Amino acid sequence: MMVRCPLRSCWNRAHHSSPCDWLLQLSIILLQPADLRSDQWRAGGRGPTAESFSQLYCGRGRRTCAPPLLCGLALFIAPSSFPGKHDGHGIGRLPAASSSTNMDQLEAFDRHLNSFVDGLFGERDPRVRGWLLLDSCLPTLSLTAVYLLVVYLGPLYMKNRPAYSLKNVLLLYNFSVTMLSLYMLVELILSSWTAGYRLQCQNLDSAGDGDIRVAKVLWWYYFSKLIEFLDTVFFVLRKKNNQITFLHVYHHASMFNIWWCVLNWIPCGQSFFGPMLNSFIHVLMYSYYGLSTIPSMHKYLWWKKYLTQAQLVQFVMTITHTLSAAVYPCGFPLGCLLFQSSYMMTLVILFINFYIKTYKKKQPQADGKERRNAVNNHANGYSPSNGASAKRKKH
């Protein structure tokens, strides 16, 4: 039985494959390492095929496909491996030869785009070759584009719909990100210490296996920036549109792309310090967000403004550490140091502006209710206005 997907009939007037098949083929070519994007995988590989995933995730006789994210995630995991060299398995096959032209065009575009990026930045670090999402910039750019579409279209979609509470989801999410941040903090301290890293300036290739260990942690740091896109998704679903500021979107979208570049060209050495500080801040920050989902904890969350102050201190320390390597060079690329310092300065300016608007110009709060509202309106914490406030009004 054919897989039934939305718009199949009109799609088939112009193409021989369904929208689901096309999406799955697109996922295969975007998410496989560049060294596997060759004619051999169209000749038949040993891994799962797009057709089998289409049947599994779209189902037989269903009227709708699984969400694109699920279809993409299936092929996102199957053909690739976590940090380390790819073993050559999990190569998909085209379900229809007539679709190969579309995929050839996409592959050519991907190849030209990455050649352009390589021309800008030079040769990539071969030690991260084959690591998940790193061989091509197209997946990172595509995911960022999807994120920006959510930022723009999400509030329009939710405009006439009730806000979601998501209390339990937020509690689980914030706890998970806190644990991931704690892991990265501890592992970066241990790996840089055992590798003999110098605080003032550390080059890219003097620590051997220690550099690889640091790079693996930094890959998780890069991947965590993708996970943190969910911060904005939760804002959209909870109709907290006032929290989707330029600072928020700029910070989330830029960090994910910048760290793709960092992992490809400077995946260790001097790059370790900023993520180590940021992981510490995120342990505090997401712990705060998690506690804010528990109404009984709100009276203990008086330290909200100190999180912003800690972030500003983090930026200043990172800039100082970065520029120290420019003053006393050790072989770390000077252009990367100057770019990082400039980028961090933009964050300092934006965060200072946020701090002044949020805390300095705000009138003194009259009672405890306003203090609770300050907690509820911050970040991705739980807001009683999505359900709990109605219960209080009855008493």
- Domain range annotation of the chain: 1-27+50-79, 126-384
Cβ pair 68, 27 in contact under 8 A: no
For 118-132, the DSSP string reads HHHH-SPPGGGTT-T
Q: Which of 15, 112, 251, 395 is catalytic?
A: 251
Residues 6+ apart with CB under 8 A from 222: 133, 256, 259, 260, 262, 263
Is 251 part of the annotated catalytic residue set?
yes
Q: How confident is the model at residue 219 (pLDDT cuts 50, 70, 90)?
A: very high
Alpha-helix residue ranges (DSSP H) falling in the chain: 8-12, 19-31, 50-58, 68-77, 100-121, 138-158, 167-194, 209-227, 229-237, 246-265, 273-292, 304-327, 334-355, 368-376, 388-393
Res 338: pLDDT: 94
Residue 220 has, within 13 A of its CA and on its CB side, a CA count of 20
Res 96: pLDDT: 52
pLDDT over threshold 90, residue 20 = no
C-alpha 348/C-alpha 381 separation (Å) is 24
The model carries a pTM of 0.72
Percent of the chain topping pLDDT 70:
66
39-59 pLDDT, tens digit each:
443 444 433 344 443 444 444
Q: Letter for the amino acid at 5?
A: C
Structure-token match 């061989």, residue found: 135
Query: Which of 13, 95, 20 is closest to 62 using CA atoms?
Result: 20
Stretch 257-268: mean pLDDT, rounded?
97
C-alpha 286/C-alpha 175 separation (Å) is 7
Stretch 119-130: mean pLDDT, rounded?
94
Query: Which of 370, 367, 373 is closest to 388 using CA atoms?
Result: 373
CA 20 to centroid of chain Cα atoms = 25
C-alpha 326/C-alpha 333 separation (Å) is 9
Res 349: pLDDT: 95
Stretch 212-225: mean pLDDT, rounded?
98
Q: Which long-range contacts (CB under 8 A, 24 or more apart) does 313-322 make?
A: 314/277, 314/278, 314/280, 314/281, 315/344, 315/347, 315/348, 315/351, 316/348, 317/277, 318/273, 318/274, 318/277, 318/344, 319/344, 319/345, 319/348, 321/199, 321/270, 321/273, 321/274, 322/270, 322/273, 322/274
Cβ pair 385, 239 in contact under 8 A: no
Average of per-residue pLDDT values in the chain: 77
274-312 pLDDT, tens digit each:
999 999 999 999 999 999 988 888 888 888 889 989 999
Alpha-helix residue ranges (DSSP H) falling in 195-272: 209-227, 229-237, 246-265
Res 189: pLDDT: 97
Structure-token match 């979208």, residue found: 253
Q: Which two tokens stand for residue 257?
A: 């792309």
pLDDT over threshold 60, residue 250 = yes
Angstrom CA distances, 199 to 189, 209, 259, stand at 11, 18, 21
Backbone φ/ψ region at 24: left (φ over 0), alpha (ψ -120 to 50), beta = alpha
